[in-house]
Chain A
Amino acid sequence: MANERDQVHPFSARVDAPYWDGLADGTLKIQRCDSCREWRWPADWRCGSCGSYDLGWEVVEPTGIVYSWIRTRQPFVAAYADLVPYVNVLVELPQAGGARLMGLLTGDTDDVEVGRRVVGNFQPASARTIDLPVLTWTLEAA
């Protein structure tokens, strides 16, 4: 949970900088090994499968499947306090080797359950999102 990826400065030197840059440009990019073609997520410097340092980024569709979800009922995060209760989803991306992303679920949250299809929405950076562009998610019609 705590990791070196968050301790690299400047931000552009982080291994996952292309991910955030992609979101700012309205594209979802996931890291993939140029040598063995394995998807790598979370992003890292070395491919754990083949040992290559040649890791690239591929644009994938911002759609996925709810792998898990929670509904936060206490203001654990000050910037989200006005949204309580809010739902977060952990979204699996089958088109990116099953990589999983966390995000806020907006719109209808009553019908959320594991296995539901969701669509991502690109949101600009804001104070709420610690100044990072993010994907939020909505349930696809059942």
Chain B
Amino acid sequence: MNRPSGVAAIGYGATPYYKRGQSPHAERKLLLMAIDEAARMGGIDAADIDGFVSYGADLEDGPRLTAPLGTKELRWSSLVWGGGGGGSAGAIAQAEAAILSSQAETVVVYRATAESTSGRLSSAVIQGVFGAQYRAHGIDSPVQALALRTQRILEGAGVPRSALSAIARASYFHANHNPGAVGEAIELTEEMYEQSRLVVDPVRLFDSSRENDAAAAIIFTSAERAKDLTDKPIHLLASAYGADGPRWGEMDENHEPYIASSQASAGRRIWARTGLGPSDIDVMQLYVNFTGPPVSAIIDLGFCTAESAGEFLTFENLIAPNGVLPINTSGGDMAEGFLHGMGNAVEAVRQLRGESSNPVPGAKTCFVSGGPISELSSAALFSTEPLD
């Protein structure tokens, strides 16, 4: 049997982004509906999906889905271990590994979260995440830890505040054209950004994403099979996850380099595998839990340096259709809806299929950065064409 030479996405599905706690459906039902939508688009029977991958301690493991999907054979079920949303593109890498090795043939990558199942964020996500070195001092929320790192990006590395606001404004600008995006009706101006309240200095309200109840899924198969199933296969050119050691991991704010996103390792391997580089990227989907981490990611991936970040990260450069590097063309984590990064990969496939609400004319490549400054990070590169 010949092993596949490449992997492609054949379909995606996403539920609406409900306010946290307001989904009319249970978490698993949301997910099943997202998978069904992806299967319909991909021209397959959902029962033919034989691999399941998620990340970030998702509760919906593969064996919980096989009965309602009528799965004919389960061949792969895995979760990216560690890193929270940093594993968002790592789940894609596990799907790629499963397909290229012929462990599985049709793999769905997904994320689902609803308060009715996963509980309140304060108990499901926050409580117990931070160790004694944080909690003894009044630090027990992701925004506080990310604010420490963001402050160092600003005061330590000298990146101007305008880089953060450009990320936020580009996200909302794209959401303004995306019906159903949580930020559809918010036209974020520089003045609104500057006047928004400080939550944890230096992080303002408009520097922050807020989790939604939602589910999203992408179905992958071999590139060879994909072209028989859909006229719009989106090729996964490369994916990778990990981090550069030795001083990276769960280190109570002692990781080095401190303001890095942990994207350098995954990014380096993506460029090496594909022979492509930042100048070859037409569209970018960046993980934005807060606006500091995507600035680090852009620097780590080689699009600019800390010194040139202010010049490169401007609203005009980051918006579709004509920006130098349009980012988060659905509105992204911040303004479309926050599903711990899963929406970014969905938008990458959607954009390259020509179905984005903010199309980038002629876009052939889209980079997905799963890097929220976490212990483990990930990236994926999609294209309308396979590698030569």
Return the chain B residue nearest A76 by Cβ: B141
Residues from 166 to 217 in B contacting A, C-beta threshold 8 Å: 197-203
The yes or no answer to A29 lying at the interface (CB within 8 A) is no
The yes or no answer to A59 lying at the interface (CB within 8 A) is no
The residues of A that contact B252 with a CB separation of less than 8 Å are 1, 41-42, 100, 102
Contact of A1 with B254 in the complex, beta carbons under 8 Å = no
The yes or no answer to B137 lying at the interface (CB within 8 A) is yes
The yes or no answer to A90 lying at the interface (CB within 8 A) is yes
Contact of B253 with A100 in the complex, beta carbons under 8 Å = yes
Return the chain A residue nearest B246 by Cβ: A48
Contact of A102 with B199 in the complex, beta carbons under 8 Å = no
Contact of A80 with B132 in the complex, beta carbons under 8 Å = no
The yes or no answer to B282 lying at the interface (CB within 8 A) is no
Return the chain B residue nearest A133 by Cβ: B136
Contact of B254 with A77 in the complex, beta carbons under 8 Å = no
Interface size counted on chain B using CB atoms at 8 A: 39
Given contacts A68-B148, A76-B143, contact A114 B155 (CB under 8 A): yes
Contact of A80 with B138 in the complex, beta carbons under 8 Å = yes
Contact of B137 with A88 in the complex, beta carbons under 8 Å = yes
Contact of A41 with B149 in the complex, beta carbons under 8 Å = no
Given contacts A1-B130, A68-B155, contact A86 B198 (CB under 8 A): no
Contact of A130 with B135 in the complex, beta carbons under 8 Å = yes
The residues of A that contact B200 with a CB separation of less than 8 Å are 70-74, 76
Distance, CA A103 to CA B135, complexed state (A): 10
The residues of B that contact A129 with a CB separation of less than 8 Å are 136-137
Distance, CA A68 to CA B155, complexed state (A): 8
Interface extent on A, as a size class?
A: 35 or more
The residues of B that contact A60 with a CB separation of less than 8 Å are none
The yes or no answer to A2 lying at the interface (CB within 8 A) is yes
Contact of A77 with B138 in the complex, beta carbons under 8 Å = yes
Of A49, A70, A77, A104, most buried by chain B (CB within 10 Å of CB) is: A70
Q: What is the number of contacts between chain A and chain B, taking CB atoms within 8 Å?
A: 119
Distance, CA A101 to CA B251, complexed state (A): 11
The residues of B that contact A21 with a CB separation of less than 8 Å are none
The yes or no answer to B264 lying at the interface (CB within 8 A) is no
Contact of A72 with B134 in the complex, beta carbons under 8 Å = no
Contact of B140 with A77 in the complex, beta carbons under 8 Å = yes
Return the chain B residue nearest A132 by Cβ: B136
Contact of A1 with B134 in the complex, beta carbons under 8 Å = yes
Q: Report which of A2, A73, A132 forms a contact with B198, defined as CB distance below 8 A.
A: A73
The yes or no answer to A36 lying at the interface (CB within 8 A) is no
Distance, CA A100 to CA B256, complexed state (A): 11
Residues from 243 to 277 in B contacting A, C-beta threshold 8 Å: 246, 250-254, 258
The residues of A that contact B136 with a CB separation of less than 8 Å are 129-130, 132, 134
Distance, CA A76 to CA B138, complexed state (A): 8
Distance, CA A109 to CA B201, complexed state (A): 12
Return the chain A residue nearest B374 by Cβ: A1
The yes or no answer to B131 lying at the interface (CB within 8 A) is yes
Distance, CA A103 to CA B144, complexed state (A): 13
Query: A110 → chain B, closest Cβ, in Å?
Result: 12
The yes or no answer to A79 lying at the interface (CB within 8 A) is yes
Distance, CA A25 to CA B198, complexed state (A): 38
Given contacts A42-B252, A77-B139, contact A70 B155 (CB under 8 A): no
Query: A122 → chain B, closest Cβ, in Å?
Result: 13
Contact of A73 with B148 in the complex, beta carbons under 8 Å = no
Contact of B148 with A2 in the complex, beta carbons under 8 Å = no
The yes or no answer to A13 lying at the interface (CB within 8 A) is no
Distance, CA A110 to CA B251, complexed state (A): 28
Interface string of A1-43 (1 = CB under 8 A from B): 1110110000000001000100000000000000000000110
The residues of A that contact B203 with a CB separation of less than 8 Å are 70
Query: B3 → chain A, closest Cβ, in Å?
Result: 37
Query: B194 → chain A, closest Cβ, in Å?
Result: 16
- Sample 16 A-B pairs with CB under 8 A, ordered by A number: A1-B145, A1-B250, A2-B129, A2-B130, A3-B131, A42-B133, A67-B156, A68-B156, A68-B258, A72-B138, A73-B199, A79-B138, A83-B138, A90-B148, A100-B252, A130-B135
The 10 closest A-B pairs by CB, nearest first: A80-B138, A71-B201, A76-B141, A114-B155, A68-B152, A70-B147, A6-B131, A3-B250, A129-B136, A68-B151
- Spell out B's residues near A (CB within 8 Å): 128-141, 143-145, 147-149, 151-152, 155-156, 197-203, 246, 250-254, 258, 375
- Spell out A's residues near B (CB within 8 Å): 1-3, 5-6, 16, 20, 41-42, 48-49, 67-74, 76-77, 79-80, 83, 86, 88, 90, 99-104, 113-114, 128-130, 132, 134
Known: A5-B131, A76-B138, A76-B143. 15 other contacts (CB 8 A): A1-B250, A2-B130, A2-B131, A6-B131, A41-B254, A48-B246, A68-B156, A68-B253, A70-B147, A70-B201, A73-B197, A88-B144, A88-B148, A104-B137, A114-B155
